[in-house]
Amino acid sequence: MGNALIVIDMQVDFCPGGALAVAGGDDLVAPINAMMRDYDAVILTQDWHPANHSSFADNHPGAAPFSLVEMPYGPQVLWPRHCVIGSGGADLVPGLDTSLADLVLRKGFCPEIDSYSAFFENDHSTATGLAGYLGERGLSHLTFVGLALDFCVAWSAIDAVKLGFGAAVVESACRAIDLDGSLEQARRNMCAAGVTIA
């Protein structure tokens, strides 16, 4: 039973000064670095969007950032443009110890669909390949940290449980956007799914 630390989207655009900043996001670098050596493996994820990504508000004329639209796969928040492939905003945040990472998984690179979860795109069926990687390495218990708690962290942890992994979220090593009550909803969803919130 191997243990993996899954570090979600610790990127420049999600930290203060970035295009989609999460308050206090950069405060997580030191505690996450300190956790890394306690695990058998460390996996980092990166949002990795093309410029024409359908989740960007400015690709929908007249649409406001943080508004909700219906996509073929369900409701989608329209975000400010962020983590564009090759941009400085897509970089992992300075100071994050990437030397201990076994894998960097990039997600959200298909223009027509967003990808909050580290395991699936937002259609809940198109896999990223992470589950297979973890399974082949015998990594069965996963601990999630990073950004943002109420979106990519929560969706990843819930999907981990659905796929048969043990999943825990260390809330002190996460920060949330809290968009219209999304943080409390995410907590409820995680608890209902069987995610341990530490």
Catalytic residue numbers read 9, 107, 152
Phi, psi of 32 (to 5 degrees): -70, -45
State the DSSP H helix or E strand holding residue 190, giving kind and residue range, or none if neither.
helix 182-193
Cβ(128)–Cβ(120) below 8 Å: yes
Q: Are strands 74-77 and 68-71 parallel, antiparallel or unpaired?
A: antiparallel
34 burial (CB, 10 Å; 0-12 / 13-18 / 19+) is: exposed
- Beta-sheet strand order (sheet of 2-8): 103-107, 41-47, 2-8, 139-147, 166-175, 196-197
Phi, psi for 38 (deg, rounded to 5): -85, 0
Of 106, 108, 14, 114, the C-alpha closest to 55 is 114
CA atoms of 198 and 86, how far apart (whole Å): 34
